[in-house]
Amino acid sequence: MLFRIDLKSREIIPVNLPVGMLNTPDGLFLEGNTLYVAQNLPKSIGVVKLSSDFSQAEFERTINHPTFAFPTSVARYKNRLLVVSSQFDTAGSPAAVSGTQPPVVPFWVTEIRERVETMLSSREAFYLLEKLCVDLGFCLPPDIQRKLQETPPADIDSFTDAVVEAEGFDPEYMDRRLRSQVRQLVAESFARCDSVSRR
């Protein structure tokens, strides 16, 4: 199970996530609304997308690597994912799943480079907001448009949520089809910026 803690009220609240979504979860690393979960026995990292209020979770993808050996911790630095292999399934381990083979020494940390999503330029954000207004009727107030152009949210989902919230919708409870349409236009703009940055 996964829980969130309200730091003001100190209330402990369970996060709603599908049963069996994670397998032997261990170390966690939270970056924005993305949660990286070290999974011991699958020898993988689960990437989970959390809702804006951290009440809901959806499984996004799995990261595998041949050097993972009972990963227990995960962290991210810039575009690098760092994963600790504790080898708790080897002989002499304090864990309940200790095995018969000795661990490989020295222990290691696996470093994986991940592609960082390209941020929108102010110009691209302007054209995106124009398209959202014309195509979907999401015509945001001038002050919010200016803010989104000057400091565009760094990823597709954050930009999408900023747009729908500015229109008065709750991203978690609005019509899924409508949110998907907004997200599609946002994703297309990010893809264009990414293709330009790679030239």
Boundaries of every domain in the chain: 3-113, 122-197
Cα–Cα distance for residue pair 199/197, rounded to 1 Å: 6
> Across the strands, what pairs with 69?
none
Residue 195: band (very low, low, confident or very high) from pLDDT cuts 50, 70, 90: low
pLDDT digits (tens, 9 = 90+) for 46-90: 999 998 889 999 998 899 999 999 999 999 887 789 999 999 989
pLDDT for res 118: 57
Task: Write the DSSP string, 125-147.
Answer: HHHHHHHHHHHH-----HHHHHH
Nearest of 105, 91, 14 to residue 55 by alpha carbon: 14
| Neighbouring residues of 129: CB distance < 8 A, sequence distance ≥ 6 | 140, 145, 148, 149, 163
Read off the pLDDT of residues 1-32 as tens digits, 9 standing for 90 and up.
899 998 889 999 999 998 889 999 999 999 88
- The pLDDT confidence band at residue 148, using thresholds 50, 70 and 90, is very high
